Structure 1
Amino acid sequence: MPTLRLIALAASQALLASAAFAQATPTALDAVVVTGTRAKDRTLADTAVPVDVLSRDDVLRAAGADGNLAAALQALLPSFNFPRQSNSGGGDHVRAAQLRGLSPDQVLVLVNGKRRHTSAVVNLESKTGKGTNPVDFNTIPLSAVARIEVLRDGAGAQYGSDAIAGVVNIILDERKAGGELTTELGAFHTKFEPIGRTLTDGQTQSARVAQGWALGGNGFLRAGLEGLHRNATNRAGLDELPPWDDQSAANLATVGQRNYAPGEPQTHQWQAWFNGAADVAPGTRAYAFGTWQQRRSLGAAYFRYPDSGANVKTVYPDGYRPQTTGDNRDLQLVAGLKTSWADWDVDVALNHGRNDFDYGVRRTINASLGAASPREFHLADFGSRLTGITLDLSREINVAGLARPLTLAAGLDLRRDGFVTGAGDAASYAVGTFDAPAGAQAGPGLQAGDATTRHRNVAGAYLDLSADLTRDWQANLALRHDHYSDFGGATTAKLSTRLALDRTLALRGAVSSNFRAPSLAQQGFAFTVTDRGDGGTLSQVRTLPVDHAVARYLGAQDLKAETSRNASVGLSWQPSKAWSTTLDAYAIRVKNRITLSQRISRDGLAAELATKFGTTGIDGVNFFTNALDTRTRGADLVTQWRGAALGGELSLGWTASVNRTTVRGGGSVGLEEINTLTDASPRQRHILTANWQGGLWAVQARATRHGSTTRVFDFGDGFVPTQTYAAVWQLDLEGQVQVTKALALSLGAINATDKYPTRSIADISYFGNFPYDVLSPVGFNGAYYYARARLSF
């Protein structure tokens, strides 16, 4: 691949340049890695597959304006994408993240090695991750993180469903003494060219406190509490009034105003966590950990004009913009026991996780009810559940002829998954007596007949072998079988190997089969959203379960599991303790990818469905489908150096990711969905970092090049506006001074040069209201400035 040759050439040039530095100091390459291997002594320097290890300080510094974990991962990992959403219904409240350009639900998230439950929210109106309900990274408190290990390789044979793109394992802090209090203030301050003004908004205040205690012997308990409040941002342009709306005097009076509010939602959240362990008998250790979050957020919806069928002028004489509300509650509790039995190390754990999301809308109306309509509605309840028990066994076996003992691991994984939905207020979907659109605007709510409760049982068993066949050659083999009560079983396998060519250079590679089971939400989710339909007009689109009578009538079939074949090959070079480079190329073929079907909307559809099924008010229908296969090819580069320079210690890093996804099939999937899978996320990202620390001072600079993205809208009748947004550089800066031994103060800027994406063309900017698209990872809020104080005690 020409791209791989280009990366390899650039890597060699970067390494030659960094060789000019001297007096190296050790890096963390000797740190033991626990993700992707069952062996106890694998380090970052000798892994057979690519693993990134992010330190606690890295994560805290990179969290930026969002103050959350996913934003930190995007800032640190070029293969990780976490775009902003706006005017996207549930997507305003729960954002989805990607690894290696694949779907958000194709990455497995672990906490302390235990599976994390998914979000209850199915993203229907967002671009990235449309139709998925992945793990919400932002429910994990920042102060809880000790380090994060990111396995960039398929790992279904080791961990089960979802690990097609890789695994993110969040290791919680277990320091048994000392505490920290961190407070941060920040705001966006930007020159917003579409309206010719300088804006200051998105003011953010946050505080985090954590403390550790020793528990007898070798035990510990560490716990923390966090709070955050962020004001909304608004990056709307000046309204030009869509041509299909009445050109009345009242509507024309809104022209030139900022009627919409694309931007960050207003957010208020609390989080708490704990992590502990204690010896309960000689050789037996009990452990437990947990995280909790409650997050309330306020998103924006489309403006309704004064003289429109969706308005009642006696209620909103100047028109109105509904606000979506989200109440997100998340909990994970894990308790386990580690002991020994007949030469086996035993780990048995009970894991319970749940996410609940209450969805609503305010400052709105059900126009069909007239002036008597409520102004605020509860639209739906969504819930995700996971309860499981795991048994992991491992031991070392001396085998003649092997350089080191072989590691044998085996285990069982029993799990019960659940997904529940509850109906909204009756008025949120009622059909009133007035000749006007029925249901709450920016809703309508989930109807009682569409509420669902679904469960399934999952049983999995695995076998894992890891051996050093010679002093320079290691090999790992994993086999796993999972059985799902709702659709059957899947068997996966993985073989990985690493060959040291000399003391500095190693060749590594892996092949694997993986799968992702259809989520219960994708099987049973029903909801109606307001979206831009034919010609760009607002219309109601109903998403139906595949077993719904209407969906079956329109061609829906039972969902099958996604399956993948992954292959990777890479080089690892460590010419000194201070300097290391890895370059890994990969190919991932995914069959039966699950995505939303194209919107089915035709003349007479509403009347047809009303006659045949008695349903009313359906302008369009879509459902989930296994309609296409994809192939993703790419490469990741990581190079870093650390040494003495400028009277202190300097560390330099360059990480890069390039990938491309192509689609086969997809006849029942629309152009917008294909665009989501192929071009909507950047194909390339580069991150250049420099950190210097000397005495009381520390400085960090990070330059990120976000690659181009492409947006496609399909408004019907051949009207397909398309635009490619150019690549853009982002500069992040931070300076820190250690005022006392206990107190450190920091000042920083995210996107310090106030960069924006390419301006959207007229056919995409929705008549001036959305001057910037959500696709670019640089965001559309401009520069963010912050001050942080950290007190250690």
Structure 2
Amino acid sequence: MSRPTVAPLGIAIAFALAVPAFAQDAPGGNATRLDAVIVTGTRATDRTALESTSPIDVLTADDIRQAGVLNGELGSALQALLPSLNFPRQSNSGGADHVRAAQLRGLSPNQVLVLVNGKRRHASALVNTDSKIGKGNTPVDFNAIPVSAIKRIEVLRDGAGAQYGSDAVAGVINVILDDAPEGGAWEASYGAHHTDVEPIGRTVTDGQTAYASGQVGSRIGQDGFFRVGFEYKQREATNRAGFDQIPFFEEQTPDNLALAGQRNYVLGDGASKDLNAWLNAAVPVGENAEFYAFGTYHQSDTEGANYFRYPDGEANWKEIYPNGYRPISEGENLDLAGVAGVRGQWGDWDYDASLNHGRNEFTYRLRDSLNASLGPASPTRFKTGDYESAQTLFNVDLSRVFGAHTFATGVEFRHETFETGAGDPASYAAGPYTDRPTGSQAGGGLTPQDTADLDRDVSSVYASLSSQWGDRFTTDIAARYEHYDDFGGELTGKLAARYEFAPAFALRGSVSNNFRAPSLSQIGFESTSTGYDASGQLLQGRLLSVNNPIARALGARDLDPEKALNLSVGFTSRIGEHFDLSLDVFRIDIDDRVALTERISGDALTDYVLDNFGVPGVQSVNFFINAADTRTEGAELVANWRQALGDGDLLLTGAYSYAKTELKRITATPDALLAIDPDYVLFGIEESNTLTDAAPRTRGIFTARWDNSDWSLLGRVSRHGSAKRVFNFGGGFEPEQTYGAEWQLDAEVEYRFSPKWSVAIGGLNLTDEYPDLSNEDIYYFGNLPYDVLSPIGSNGAYYYTRIRYSF
């Protein structure tokens, strides 16, 4: 098959990777990210990333734009730039097809705290219960943060609960919005995947993506500003499904078997449309204060994939779908965030008082589905539920410089809510055809008994001291007391230090204890579903809250908060103007990690629930528990070399991350559950795999970038480490597969043909690499040949072009 020409990209790659051999010994070059003055992780106002007592990555707006990842996806851009961050592309994974979750240091998505301009960001309302990575989480939706709004991003890779509050177990991601008082930019890009799909022996072009953004700023008086922007993105679907071999447990009828050799399933990204808007402003108030405000708006319509239902099967009526059907999930996502406050000086003190509100509303729908129990008159479109979460915060922060010491203190009051609404009655109805599954296929609607309405109040007080002891020794000390009205209080603390033991060489280290309360969704979320389990069998199941009497009888207990102890030791070096390096090793011990149980299913469960609670037809159950204690150990390396080259500047960056999670303790299966069936396991190999081996332990990135006044050339090579998938299909059948490491090559050429106009062409995964094909035990009868675990994804090569006008 013919392939698109990539000659300009090839020239860029060869040049970017060969330039070290021609570099001349000359001063200058691009400022490295470690030179940037940081605001995350310390209250001192003059620290750079290299001088920080904890490891911090600083990403500029150019870094993020030139990541080139799928035109406007912030989460994918972060994965391309940060080896410690994982942002897998899920498919056939329920809510995770619509809201993707990010991991830092291999931990759960809800164990990283996200800030915008230093203020806590709210989480999504949608609970991911069918995903692999991020299962049971309501993650922050990174793609709801406009890429065009970003000035820079600071990523603190260390526990920071004492500094910022709960959830900062793996670290903190602080998104700093653009505050330029003048000028603006317009940008448009278009791209598509063009790839050889091995399982079907074809070359396909799909995933066409169009992106446009605009922003403009204006001064207000002498020192104020107002900046506003928008983004629009439309992405078409991708599909990497294989040819159907027809599962053996489906009816082997002529109509079913006639579908063999067809592509009845979908594996890939769903179609989506996104609209983002943002503002950032500050206005002087008197001589020593300013009023500030910023906010984001995100609205998206997304689609997700689900398993195929065959013509002759209990989940179908041939009067509606004579050739079978594949339900499509639809997500309507509305995300709003706004912060307003006043900051200034009061004598020798700096103060900042703010009000912060964020909310997410998600409506989940299905089309091309049916409720088989309603018979041939079943509708084919359903609303299966409404989800809403919100947080409102009030903060007051005070800080003061005492010589070489910066003291800060403050209070925070936070109100959190989580609410779900029932789906259409037809989405959960039990119709007259009692021999057929009830509820809409591919996700039964939330029933009135499933709905949740929870809230809680959190208050905290903190104090910190950042100190410079002479020219060589720096310390950061922090303590915070945080009180939840449903979990009580917790005291967290952190001690971090950096010592420059020789010119250009320093050691740093930290110790902290951190805390994460179970989210409201983990406490109170319930759902009833009709779908397929890991082995492909159709099941009617329920996810129960820990307070549900059925869950209690099966061993559920009140959830305890997760508690972590973080230890980190690092080495930093900067030699002259050319080379800098940081190496940090860490250990994170987390007790009482919250996770979902295995799916408990079988006739014994169905009979037990019917006999003891009078609820018929419950074929599977799971619920949240404090599943395990874990230990994560790892190391992270970042190195930069900068050099003048020809009439431009060269920057070489290498980064590597290693994180290994092991189980120290697993919650035992309770006697009440063993009494129902001695083979039941509360938390077993499948969910243990989610915490330990499902995410790659290693990732490495090498980037070469050369710039002058007219050209920017970028080449990036990434190595995604191996990941492991384990299933428990029951009956002792527990297939597993380790997917090997994969290499990825990206490149971009940008030409500035005037001070205001530039054009770029680029490509991601130029060598068209894929994860290993899944083995016969896992690939679901040829339909799902690729797993979702590898960060390289299963979409293949992507090519794009971009034009930008700045003024």
Residues 23 and 645, structure 2, Cα contact 8 Å, conserved in 1: no
The within-5 A match list for 1:333-372 is 333-372=338-377
**Which residue type is aligned with residue 713 of structure 1?**
F
SS in 2 for 1:246: coil
SS in 2 for 1:368: helix
2:28 paired residue number: 25
Is the counterpart of residue 397 in structure 1 residue 396 in structure 2? Answer: no
SS in 2 for 1:309: coil
C-alpha distance in 2 between matches for 1:21 and 1:727? 35
2:407 paired residue number: 408
* Greater shift in the superposed pair: 150-159 or 528-537: 528-537
Cα deviation, residue 423, structure 1: 0.3
Deviations 1:643-669, CA, capped at 9 Å, x for gaps: 111432111010000110000222331
Cα deviation, residue 533, structure 1: 3.2
C-alpha distance in 2 between matches for 1:19 and 1:107? 42
1:519 paired residue number: 519
C-alpha distance in 2 between matches for 1:30 and 1:310? 60
**Which residue type is aligned with residue 696 of structure 2?**
P
C-alpha distance in 2 between matches for 1:712 and 1:585? 28
Which of 154, 157, 173 is 2:178 aligned to? 173
C-alpha distance in 1 between matches for 2:316 and 2:371? 8
Deviations 1:63-85, CA, capped at 9 Å, x for gaps: 41252111010000000000010
**Which residue type is aligned with residue 475 of structure 1?**
T
1:756 paired residue number: 770
1:93 paired residue number: 98
1:209 paired residue number: 214
**Which residue type is aligned with residue 157 of structure 1?**
A
**Which residue type is aligned with residue 454 of structure 1?**
L
C-alpha distance in 2 between matches for 1:372 and 1:546? 37
Cα deviation, residue 600, structure 1: 1.4
Give the unaligned 5+ runs of structure 2: 1-16, 669-681
Deviations 1:500-524, CA, capped at 9 Å, x for gaps: 1122000000000001110000001
C-alpha distance in 1 between matches for 2:262 and 2:417? 46
2:115 paired residue number: 110
Residues 72 and 146, structure 2, Cα contact 8 Å, conserved in 1: no
1:550 paired residue number: 550
* Greater shift in the superposed pair: 389-398 or 161-170: 389-398
Residues 71 and 190, structure 2, Cα contact 8 Å, conserved in 1: no
* Greater shift in the superposed pair: 649-658 or 466-475: 466-475
2:699 paired residue number: 685
SS in 2 for 1:65: coil
1:321 paired residue number: 326
Is the counterpart of residue 454 in structure 1 residue 472 in structure 2? Answer: no
Cα deviation, residue 604, structure 1: 3.0
C-alpha distance in 1 between matches for 2:492 and 2:561? 13
C-alpha distance in 2 between matches for 1:335 and 1:534? 46
**Which residue type is aligned with residue 202 of structure 1?**
G
Cα deviation, residue 430, structure 1: 0.5
C-alpha distance in 1 between matches for 2:386 and 2:133? 23
C-alpha distance in 1 between matches for 2:35 and 2:245? 60
Residues 90 and 125, structure 1, Cα contact 8 Å, conserved in 2: yes
Deviations 1:436-492, CA, capped at 9 Å, x for gaps: 111100010000111111000000000101111232111111000000011111110
The within-5 A match list for 1:231-380 is 231-380=236-385
Residues 571 and 583, structure 2, Cα contact 8 Å, conserved in 1: yes
2:715 paired residue number: 701
- For these two proteins, the number of residue pairs brought into alignment is 772
Residues 187 and 200, structure 1, Cα contact 8 Å, conserved in 2: yes
SS in 1 for 2:50: helix
The within-5 A match list for 1:447-526 is 447-526=447-526
1:417 paired residue number: 416
TM-score, normalised by the number of residues in structure 1: 0.96
C-alpha distance in 1 between matches for 2:141 and 2:35? 31
Deviations 1:117-149, CA, capped at 9 Å, x for gaps: 011011111110101111111100000000000
Cα deviation, residue 695, structure 1: 4.0
2:791 paired residue number: 777
Residues 197 and 204, structure 2, Cα contact 8 Å, conserved in 1: yes
SS in 1 for 2:502: coil
C-alpha distance in 1 between matches for 2:187 and 2:106? 34
SS in 2 for 1:465: strand
C-alpha distance in 2 between matches for 1:777 and 1:341? 49
SS in 2 for 1:304: coil
1:639 paired residue number: 639
Residues 648 and 693, structure 1, Cα contact 8 Å, conserved in 2: yes
**Which residue type is aligned with residue 448 of structure 1?**
P
Cα deviation, residue 529, structure 1: 3.7
1:8 paired residue number: none
Cα deviation, residue 263, structure 1: 0.5
**Which residue type is aligned with residue 25 of structure 1?**
G
C-alpha distance in 1 between matches for 2:701 and 2:263? 35
Deviations 1:321-371, CA, capped at 9 Å, x for gaps: 000000010000000000222421110000000011100100010011011
CA 1:587–1:463 in structure 2 vs 1: closer, same or farther (change >3 Å)?
same
Deviations 1:701-737, CA, capped at 9 Å, x for gaps: 1000000000011111110110000001000111111
Q: Give structure 1 regions of 4+ aligned residues with deviation exceeding 6 angstroms.
A: 17-20
Is the counterpart of residue 722 in structure 1 residue 736 in structure 2? Answer: yes
**Which residue type is aligned with residue 610 of structure 2?**
A
**Which residue type is aligned with residue 663 of structure 1?**
L
**Which residue type is aligned with residue 757 of structure 1?**
P
Residues 275 and 290, structure 1, Cα contact 8 Å, conserved in 2: yes
* Greater shift in the superposed pair: 38-47 or 427-436: 38-47
**Which residue type is aligned with residue 683 of structure 2?**
V
C-alpha distance in 2 between matches for 1:102 and 1:45? 25
Is the counterpart of residue 54 in structure 1 residue 59 in structure 2? Answer: yes
C-alpha distance in 2 between matches for 1:511 and 1:102? 18
SS in 2 for 1:71: helix
C-alpha distance in 1 between matches for 2:145 and 2:722? 30
**Which residue type is aligned with residue 176 of structure 2?**
I
Which of 678, 681, 686 is 1:672 aligned to? 686
Give the unaligned 5+ runs of structure 1: 1-13, 399-404
For the aligned residue pairs, the C-alpha RMSD in angstroms reads: 1.4
**Which residue type is aligned with residue 779 of structure 1?**
G
Residues 515 and 561, structure 2, Cα contact 8 Å, conserved in 1: yes
1:9 paired residue number: none
Cα deviation, residue 740, structure 1: 2.0
**Which residue type is aligned with residue 408 of structure 2?**
A
The within-5 A match list for 1:183-222 is 183-222=188-227
